[in-house]
Amino acid sequence: MTDSRLLRSFIPPYILNRIIAHGSETQRRAAMLTLNHVRSLLPNPGPPLRPPARTIQPAGKPGLAQRSVHDAQNKMLLPGGAVRLEGQPASGDQAVDEAYDALGASYDFFWKVLGRDSIDDKGFALIGSVHYGQGYENAFWNGEQMVFGDGDGEIFQRFTRSLDVIAHELAHGVTESEAGLIYAGQSGALNESLSDVFGVLAKQYALSHTVEQADWLIGADLLTPRIQGKGLRSMSHPGTAYDDPLLGKDPQPEHMRKFVITTEDNGGVHINSGIPNRAFYLAARALGGFAWEKAGRIWYDTLCDKRLSQDATFDAFARLSVEHAGKRFGAREVAAVHQGWSQVGIEMSLEVV
């Protein structure tokens, strides 16, 4: 039985609420179905349990992903029928093959860049279910697998289109396996931000994009052309991803002075994640080159630090990240990470190093 506290969904409640308030009947119905489902699986934001290493097939050798993609056939029962297993050829179903390829690209990023063997670093099999529900407007990680809806076709396209979304969901499992960050308040926003960081890095790695070439967008492939937006979140400029009559304006702050106090979305975990997202972008931008080589490595080292508590604040993560910049690299990297946090309102002395 999946522990509901482990469910992490990509589309935040405030977007679904906007659709329910301003969308057409079809759009409202799809958003209501999605929102009610997410709420039913989130009874409380308490400390997550570490995900059990349950797999449909045995874990493979280190460096080799073990993927299985299933078709939920528009039902809400998991995992659904197996359609494509590791090593099998393309199925011809776009969602199935996109999920398969993106799971592989996500695994390759964690293994080749960070030396991590899947979610638990022990070869956890990567399971994905596609065609979940009817018009389901979300993707989520439930502690055992990734699940992807097809969207309604009017606001959201199928969620398997976006590599960074799939890597984002997989990264929730990594965070739970390492730090178990409580999904509420600042620790919850850190949880979301880390998934955005590794999601965007997986995309940049797959595309061989430098810091300057990258778009720094999360979910750039999800919105249909009728929506006025370039993605769901912008890491370089939080608050600018979309501005649309239906969805409203991207509410993410980029500085602590604009930190949002709210009871919605477990204390604004999808909103305030814009602050650490921009800190990462600024650090990566200052360092240049490929963001995964230095900034990404520093953030990963920080996530894996046993001193990072389950209720960690932005400040606590920032201090550890500056320390790890010094441990792994040197003064230039320390200065870049320190400045990145300072520019979003997280001030600290360099004596923390």
Q: How far apart are CA 291 and CA 204, in angstroms?
A: 8
Active site annotation includes 264: no
* 26-29 contact pairs (CB < 8 A, 24+): 26/135, 26/152, 26/154, 27/152, 27/154, 27/155, 27/246, 29/135
Residue ranges in 61-184 assigned as alpha helix (H) = 94-108, 114, 163-178
Kindly give, in sequence order, each residue whose CB lies less than 8 Å from that of residue 257, ignoring residues fewer than 6 positions away.
345
Q: How far apart are CA 251 and CA 307, in angstroms?
A: 31
User: Token pair of 14, please?
Assistant: 């405030």
The domains located in the chain, with CATH, are 4-178 (3.10.170.10), 185-352 (1.10.390.10)
- Give the DSSP letter of residue 243: E
Rounded to 5 degrees, φ, ψ at 258 are -110, 15
Regarding beta strands 67-71 and 126-130, do their DSSP bridges make them parallel or antiparallel, or are they unpaired? parallel
- pLDDT (tens place) for every residue of the chain, 353 residues total: 344 455 678 898 899 999 999 999 999 999 999 988 877 765 444 444 444 344 444 445 788 899 999 999 999 999 999 999 999 999 999 999 999 999 999 999 999 999 999 999 999 999 999 999 999 999 998 888 999 999 999 999 999 999 999 999 999 999 999 999 999 999 999 999 999 999 999 999 999 999 999 999 999 999 999 999 999 999 999 999 999 999 999 999 999 999 999 998 899 999 999 999 999 999 999 999 999 999 999 999 999 999 999 999 999 999 999 999 999 999 999 999 999 999 999 988 665 44
Q: How far apart are CA 229 and CA 249, in angstroms?
A: 9
Nearest to 244 by CA among 234, 255, 231: 231
User: Token pair of 128, please?
Assistant: 């994905």
Q: In the prediction, which pLDDT does 43 show?
A: 44
Q: Given 137, 169, 176, 178, which residue is catalytic?
A: 169
End-to-end CA distance of the chain: 43
Active site annotation includes 169: yes
Q: Given 70, 131, 270, 338, which residue is catalytic?
A: 270
